[in-house]
Structure 1
Amino acid sequence: MSLPQAVAELVHSGDTVALEGFTHLIPFAAGQEIIRQERRDLTLVRMTPDVVYDQLIGAGCAAKLVFSWGGNPGVGSLHRMRDALANNWPRPLEIEEHSHAGMANRYVAGASGLPFAILRGYAGTDLPLHTPTISTVTCPFTGEELAAVAALNPDVAVIHAQRADQAGNVQLWGITGVQKEAVLAAKRSLVTVEEIVDELPPTPGAVVLPTWVVDAVAVAPGGAAPSYAQGYYQRDNAAYRAWDAISRDRARFTAWLDELRSAA
């Protein structure tokens, strides 16, 4: 599908949406298309929300954020996120905070068809007091008390990958984060890719998502920029630094948003 068509069919207002990619292969093009199509009341899920989530929050798409860390990597804070939390601009933002390990385990449980995951974590923190999806269980074999986190099953997972074949099998490599788990856990999935090829060549360390777990593939060259796509382009560090100034000021951000929408 084209990217606008894929977003129109798969991402709906009110959905729980996971845009995953850990420093690498972040689906910026898809996130910005969600902004253009003015989806609202989204629960945004991501292990490490960074600039693309700052953009979605500032555009008023998000009602809630489920995450384990948030920031502009190597630069500083997410100012649109901070404005929403401190000043309810452009709308109030609810948050649900986890650890990295907790979020990863939630995706794994969702992908495995299990109701929750167990881990040694959260000990000594007050996150369980504020996060209803964190609890404890007692091991039936040792009596040890362990942390438990509810499974995560997004309505739609959106990822970026290097390539797909004509049948819709997707191949990604490099730092792959939890993209595979997010797709397997989600009810629907959208993958943007750099290119479509006739055959997926063997690539060391590559993850291949079979066509039967992918609802739509959209060709979006440069779709991870300003993050990077191994084998295709490097991270645009200047763009991340520039975003800090844009996002600090509502007027500058609004001008950026108007330009994004007019570029559709």
Structure 2
Amino acid sequence: MREAIARYVHDGDVVAIEGFTHAIPTAAGHEIIRQGRKNLTLVRMTADIVVDQMLAGGCISTLVSSFVGNSSAGSLGELRRRVERSDPAPLDYQEYSHYGMICRYLAGAQRLPFYPLRSYFGSDLPRIQDGMRKVTSPFPDEKGLYEEIYVVPPINPDVTIVHAQRADRSGNTQMWGLTGIQAEAVFAAKHAIVVVEEIVDDDVIRADPNRTVIPALAVDAVVECPGATHPSFSQGYSDRDNDFYRSWSGISADPVTLSNWLDEWIYGTDDHADYLAKLGDATLARLRVGEALSGRVNYGTRLEPADGAGENTKDPR
């Protein structure tokens, strides 16, 4: 993780960190804080605890998002202070709808200049957000009219960071559970870091190819970091730490308490393994999950011809 962040995340970069409730690469955000990155534009559809922590670490100057909150468990104190009172510094917050963010990633992944959507009609967002424009369709509808439609610009991050359950050493990445917008965010970026619970042999990936959501050609770095999603969850590997989510509103409400938390849990730990050790065996045991194995799939294979098969040259007609 240390090497991947040092190589691909730089001051002033546009950084996308994706994962919708599930598979949030929190450990990558912690390493960005440890390395003292500054003036980042952070793109994250669901701005949550990791965003609050990175704001408190002084990493973010601009936030591009479609949701802000502590995952239905409370508030984000640092983000609220910056948006409501510019305390200790203002935050450039660029708000889109969920679908608007998806369209921006789709435009970025497909290298399009914009992406059309209808859902901003009747909304106040275009009045306060310059990143939503109207264009006239070049094609007439069935009545011969040329429709006006909203469009949003592409997102092309300098680096996208996502989490998944497993990958091979080349970066062929497999996910299950909530897959979110990870693949599109990776394809939209100049570089991509994939954080996984485990790196597996090529044969494991080849045995279940339909689970590969991100191919190696789109990946620059693979980081094996078990438990990297805490307090989020990784389907099949760890559960969501609801106690932590409930505690975060109190931690982040007071700047001194939040600063002390960063000192102890991020600056005071060498890496994520050290962070997990600090969480303790009791917490990790509480977050362990049991097995719920997927059913078997027969992908089929070509049978070898039987002796003499295929040798009959007689015209079947």
TM-score bucket of the superposed structures, by smaller chain: over 0.9
Q: Could you say which structure has the larger radius of gyration?
A: 2
CA shift digits 1:58-78 (9 cap, x unpaired): 111110111111000121221
Q: Secondary structure at the match of 1:21?
A: coil
CA contact (8 A) 1:19 1:46 kept: yes
Aligned residue among 49, 52, 56 for 1:51: 49
Structure 1 pair 165–204 and aligned structure 2 pair: CA distance change class (3 A):
closer
Q: Secondary structure at the match of 1:208?
A: strand
Distance 1:203 1:71 in 2: 36
Match of 2:267 among 249, 252, 261: 261
Native 8 Å contact 1:64 1:94 kept in 2: yes
Instruction: List, as ranges, runs of 4+ consecutive aligned residues in structure 1 with deviation greater than 3 Å.
Output: 201-205
CA distance in 1, matches of 2:34, 2:89: 17
Whether contact under 8 Å (2:165, 2:174) holds in the other structure is yes
Shift in CA distance, 213/87, structure 1 to aligned 2, threshold 3 Å: same
Q: 1:251: which partner in 2?
A: 256
Q: Within 1, Cα distance between the matches of 2:206 and 2:70?
A: 34
SS at structure 2 position matched to 1:24: coil
2:245 to 218, 240, 247: 240
CA shift at 1:183, angstroms? 0.3
**Structure 2 residue ranges without an equivalent (≥5):** 271-317
- The percent identity for this pair of structures is 51
Worse overlay, 156-165 or 127-136: 127-136
Offset at 1:144?
1.6
CA distance in 2, matches of 1:147, 1:206: 34
Question: How many angstroms does 1:86 deviate by?
Answer: 2.4
Classify the secondary structure of the residue corresponding to 1:157: strand
Q: CA RMSD in A?
A: 1.4
Match of 1:163?
166
Where do 5+ consecutive residues of structure 1 fail to align? Answer: none
- Is 2:74–2:246's contact at 8 Å kept on the other side of the alignment? no
- Partner residue, 2:132: 134
Deviation per CA, 1:53-103: give whole Å up to 9, x if none: 011111111101111110001212211100112232332211111000100
TM-score between both structures, scaled by the size of structure 1: 0.96
Task: Give the distance between the partners of 1:63 and 1:166, measured in 2 at CA.
Answer: 34
* Correspondence for 1:215 among 190, 197, 220: 220
Matched residues, number: 262
Please tell me whether residue 227 in structure 1 is matched to residue 232 in structure 2. yes
Indicate which of 177, 196, 199 corresponds to 2:199. Answer: 196
| One-letter identity of the residue aligned with 1:8 | A
1:2-81 correspondence runs (5 A): 3-81=1-79
Structure having the larger proportion of residues in strand: 1
Check the 8 A contact 2:108/2:188 in 1, yes or no: yes
Secondary structure in 2 aligned to 1:23? Answer: coil
1: CA distance between counterparts of 2:17 and 2:212? 17
Q: Tell me, what secondary structure is at the counterpart of 2:160?
A: strand
Note the C-alpha offset of 1:166. 2.4
- The equivalent position to 1:187 in structure 2, one of 185, 190, 203, is 190
Q: Which has the higher contact order (CA 8 A, sep 6+)?
A: 1
TM-score norm. by structure 2 comes to 0.80
